[in-house]
Amino acid sequence: MTKQTLTQLEQHELFLTRHIGPDAQQQQGMLNYVGAESLDDLMNQIVPESIRINRDLNIGRANGEAEGLDYIRNVANKNQVFKSYIGMGYYPTIVPNVVLRNVLENPGWYTAYTPYQPEIAQGRLEAILNFQQVSMDLTGLDLASASLLDEATAAAEAMALAKRVSKAKKANIFFVADDLFPQTLDVVKTRAECFGFDVIVGPAADAVNHELFGALFQYTNKEGQIHDYTELFAELKQKKAVISVAADIMSLVLLKSPGSMGADVVFGSAQRFGVPMGYGGPHAAFFVTRDAYKRSMPGRIIGLSQDTRGNRALRMAMQTREQHIRREKANSNICTAQVLLANMASFYAVFHGPQGLKTIASRINRFTDILALGLSSKGVAAQNSAWFDTLTFESNELAFIKTRALNSEINLRIDSDARFGVSLDETTTREDITQLFDVILGEDHGLDVAALDEQVMNAKEASIPPSLQRDDAILTHPTFNRYQSETEMMRYIKRLENKDLALNHSMISLGSCTMKLNAVAEMLPISWPEFANMHPFCPLEQAQGYTQLIGELSDWLVEITGYDAVCMQPNSGAQGEYAGLLAIQKYHESRGEAHRNVCLIPQSAHGTNPASAQLAGMKVVVTACDNEGNIDLDDLRAKAKEVAENLSCIMITYPSTHGVYEEAVREICDIIHQHGGQVYLDGANMNAQVGITSPGFIGADVSHLNLHKTFAIPHGGGGPGMGPIGIKSHLAPFVAGHKLIKPGSESDNNGAVSAAPFGSAGILPISYMYIRLLGSKGLKASTQTAILNANYVTKKLSEHYPVLFTGRNDRVAHECILDLRPLKEASGVTEMDIAKRLNDYGFHAPTMSFPVAGTLMIEPTESESQVELDRFIEAMINIRQEITQVEAGEWPVDNNPLSNAPHTLADIIDPEFDARPYNRELAAFPTSAVKANKFWPTVNRIDDVFGDRNLFCACVPIEDYQ
């Protein structure tokens, strides 16, 4: 036996070999096949010399999994988890363990993609539908969205909706009640500035004194007071104002719904329904409005339709409102939202049911009553006259109270030197109340919780006045009344999971989405209390672990992107675009060039680009692409010159959305800079850049990074995500700030783009671990292998399908586009047929018709092994042969395995199947690989048009089941 050195033996610990699919031998075989000697040789063939960085990243060596976990454990320990009574939209909560283990920590849920292929996504579609039902029941309005990014961005969306639908067409004022959470106001103001709206902030009752198109109120307000707004809303309606209410989801269980008071839009955070605070997120925002405003709704909506058998089936409704179709005319730029967290919240409601929720909400309210009574009996009377869970106090003793609170590891809400607040929550206990008495009153108060409880029971007046108590039933649908035992709940979650194809079944080759491994060692830390249970507005000195983690991660991202600084606030790629464009606008302003407002966007751009430019108040000018898929330089030069006076920036994607490294990218940057513009480089395709090139090196000024693509945060079925932006130093002074938390020297002039200072900080440990476990060499190897895998698949498939675009040496970058239009022409088989037929073979379809209609875009990523790639290739080749049979007239165009795909069990047991021109085995078990591991789509092909014509976006009435 040949002996190995210790260094060689230690290699086995490297995470790299777990993250990257093909082993060294397979890689060599694949290199031989594509015609390259080594990975470096392949890079030389593909990546233009002028943009190649020929040095190693300075990230450091890779950690083993155990070593990396030890390290981050130490980082986590530097966070001090105080008991939080801060409130302000973030509350301690208890994640039901059955949801924690079976949803949040289950790859069947967290690795799925946005349900663009609904036939293999009925499980999460049902869970999101439940979320919509919860949202509707609690708010008292008709039509809910499938989640937005956070409460503050939802407020900005409510304002935009109000402008779209208000009949007060001449009005330009959006009124905001002055008792709104400050972080929400900040995000609203930022957005209003872009749109040119006038925001007026004042006491709620003042709203009627303005000529306004919309108004926004908080219920319960930032100090915990609850108001009956029925009359005020009626008056505002007279003025044709659209009324929005930011509401607390837990309070709505007991309170009269804002819908029944006359509100037109109700939104808020669903965090306290079993989603940890996570130092700011991720959490789902709910957003509900009137059916009449459905065309103006931001974000995704799940609705009912039917499949070819006439069975009920769910899918995303009215997608024609969305950015990927309407581009700069879209209602909003939302792409990635918060689906995993919306599902957690909906499962929380399903598990507790209406009774359980009422018990939880009533207990919170009771403890608040007890606290208020005890304190007032000692002369510390709450400022509130009515409340649900939050009280505000004035005290000259606040300095002492603060000291005692700190000593007891408690955080209160501190408003000023003499004003403070307390918000209670689901986790509050009798001992906590006693401790709060100790802290607020000092030790010798002699108060007894049980005795106070008796007084509250006997009190004549309630903290929630009768007129504000909810008197209608909530969550009456059977789904919320069946699964209160853990066994039933576990099985319900499993039943839904079984309907969905996620990465734990097979590769998901969605181009532009980078569906790579989300390793367990990367995921583990997000459940640790030291990361999960931190309030985003806790004092910075308690969050030293987060500060270190965010600092190190930012430094690494600076190194990887070639920029000078990183802003962590945007909580999706699209929000990063918006934040980056705002920085560009502020930069121009600072130079006296505020008039620069034209954004050039190539026609191949992702839909979020034009939608974000529109949000940032820019004018979009589309530039052409040539036949090779590259930006048409002549057209670009001409347009840049034409608009030079007003040129703000260009938004490009690199490698291009066509999956090639454009040779002319430096020239493109130069053209824009020459005309005084800035270069926004969409960083969604960083997986083809890390360690090879970088946006900063190429010459761009700002980019967002999709941490949920390249940096291993799972897609969660449509979110969470993180979209931090990297910037060159001249833009650094203009990135988003935060009114409440100022870790650095941020300017106060810069508005916020998210509610929390570091966006969805709770998932940053995933990207942190990804980078730490791979190190400099592993990151580069990942990029190289992603490119190898893509070129391997491309070459194999190019013998059967035309590849639309290739770069130098006929190669692609990390993804490739198959052109199906000639095939469709010849056979009548559509890209949709192929996508659905792949389901029968156990695969998710690649990206369909983006960036070119009639195509499929395949991105295998580095994590897929050669075995899996070959399985996918086999399926695609088989499908090509099936198309040939249609082409040859062996099967009718409208009755063949492709046009009838996907096939369900119901098809297979249907006696009428015998009439089909192909057999059951071919339908359901077309290859031996499928026989060994069959995935059954649970519905047949879904009729989108039927669903949009008969819009229904709530849980199905129980009669329909029978």
> Applying CB under 6 A, which residues contact ligand PLP?
335-336, 512, 572-574, 606, 608, 653, 657, 682, 684, 706, 721, 723
CB-based contact 560:779 (threshold 8 Å):
yes
**What element of type H or E holds 153?**
helix 151-165
Q: Which of 577, 601, 709 is nearest to 649 (CA)?
A: 601
Q: Given the complex with ligand PLP, which of 851 and 947 has the nearer CB atom? A: 851
Q: Which of 597, 584, 551 is nearest to 734 (CA)?
A: 584
Alpha carbon of 601 to those of 191, 327, 605, 636, 672: distances in Å? Answer: 21, 11, 7, 10, 12
CB-based contact 886:901 (threshold 8 Å):
no
CB-based contact 254:388 (threshold 8 Å):
yes
Kindly report the number of other CB atoms within 10 A of residue 884's CB atom.
15
> Whole-number minimum distance, CB 300 to ligand PLP, in Å?
11
CA 124 to chain centre: 15
> Whole-number minimum distance, CB 119 to ligand PLP, in Å?
22
> Whole-number minimum distance, CB 581 to ligand PLP, in Å?
13
> Whole-number minimum distance, CB 847 to ligand PLP, in Å?
9
Kindly report the number of other CB atoms within 10 A of residue 267's CB atom.
31
> Whole-number minimum distance, CB 723 to ligand PLP, in Å?
5
Q: For 587, how many CA atoms within 13 A lie in the half-sphere containing its CB?
A: 25
Q: Given the complex with ligand PLP, which of 131 and 680 has the nearer CB atom? A: 680
> Whole-number minimum distance, CB 828 to ligand PLP, in Å?
31
Q: Given the complex with ligand PLP, which of 114 and 225 has the nearer CB atom? A: 114
Alpha-carbon span 415 to 418, nearest angstrom: 8
Q: Given the complex with ligand PLP, which of 609 and 900 has the nearer CB atom? A: 609
Please report, in angstroms and rounded to a whole number, the separation of the first and last CA atoms in the chain: 69
CB-based contact 740:184 (threshold 8 Å):
no
Q: Given the complex with ligand PLP, which of 15 and 113 has the nearer CB atom? A: 113
> Whole-number minimum distance, CB 753 to ligand PLP, in Å?
13
Q: Which of 517, 514, 493, 513 is nearest to 503 (CA)?
A: 517
Alpha-carbon span 957 to 3, nearest angstrom: 69
CB-based contact 390:364 (threshold 8 Å):
no
Q: Given the complex with ligand PLP, which of 583 and 883 has the nearer CB atom? A: 583
Handedness of CA 564, 666, 814, 624 (dihedral sign): positive
Kindly report the number of other CB atoms within 10 A of residue 557's CB atom.
23
Determine the length of the chain.
962
> Whole-number minimum distance, CB 336 to ligand PLP, in Å?
3
Q: Which of 546, 557, 688 is nearest to 59 (CA)?
A: 557
> Whole-number minimum distance, CB 608 to ligand PLP, in Å?
4
DSSP code of residue 870: H
User: What is the residue type of 248?
Assistant: D
> Whole-number minimum distance, CB 385 to ligand PLP, in Å?
43
How large is the angle between the packed helices 831-840 and 866-887, nearest 10 degrees?
A: 130
Q: Given the complex with ligand PLP, which of 574 and 875 has the nearer CB atom? A: 574
> Whole-number minimum distance, CB 651 to ligand PLP, in Å?
9
> Whole-number minimum distance, CB 539 to ligand PLP, in Å?
31
Alpha-carbon span 643 to 626, nearest angstrom: 21
Kindly report the number of other CB atoms within 10 A of residue 29's CB atom.
13
> Whole-number minimum distance, CB 821 to ligand PLP, in Å?
22
Alpha-carbon span 612 to 753, nearest angstrom: 12
> Whole-number minimum distance, CB 76 to ligand PLP, in Å?
26
CB-based contact 653:684 (threshold 8 Å):
yes
Q: Give bridge partners of residue 265 from the DSSP assignment.
A: 244, 289
Query: Which residues are CB-contacts of 462 (< 8 A; sequence separation ≥ 6)?
Result: 469
Q: Given the complex with ligand PLP, which of 272 and 708 has the nearer CB atom? A: 708
Q: Given the complex with ligand PLP, which of 338 and 512 has the nearer CB atom? A: 512
Q: Given the complex with ligand PLP, which of 536 and 659 has the nearer CB atom? A: 659
Q: Given the complex with ligand PLP, which of 718 and 947 has the nearer CB atom? A: 718
CB-based contact 761:280 (threshold 8 Å):
yes
Compute φ and ψ for 295, nearest 5 degrees.
-70, -15
Q: Given the complex with ligand PLP, which of 572 and 646 has the nearer CB atom? A: 572
> Whole-number minimum distance, CB 333 to ligand PLP, in Å?
7
CB-based contact 317:125 (threshold 8 Å):
no
Long-range pairs, 263-266, Cβ under 8 A, ≥24 = 263/139, 263/140, 263/141, 263/229, 263/233, 264/141, 264/162, 264/165, 264/289, 264/290, 264/293, 265/141, 265/158, 265/161, 265/162, 265/289, 265/293, 266/139, 266/140, 266/141
> Whole-number minimum distance, CB 706 to ligand PLP, in Å?
5
Residue whose beta carbon is closest to ligand PLP: 573
Q: Given the complex with ligand PLP, which of 389 and 682 has the nearer CB atom? A: 682
Q: Given the complex with ligand PLP, which of 392 and 518 has the nearer CB atom? A: 518
> Whole-number minimum distance, CB 855 to ligand PLP, in Å?
15
> Whole-number minimum distance, CB 684 to ligand PLP, in Å?
3
Q: Given the complex with ligand PLP, which of 162 and 763 has the nearer CB atom? A: 763
Q: Given the complex with ligand PLP, which of 262 and 716 has the nearer CB atom? A: 716
**What element of type H or E holds 413?**
strand 413-414
Q: For 782, how many CA atoms within 13 A lie in the half-sphere containing its CB?
A: 29
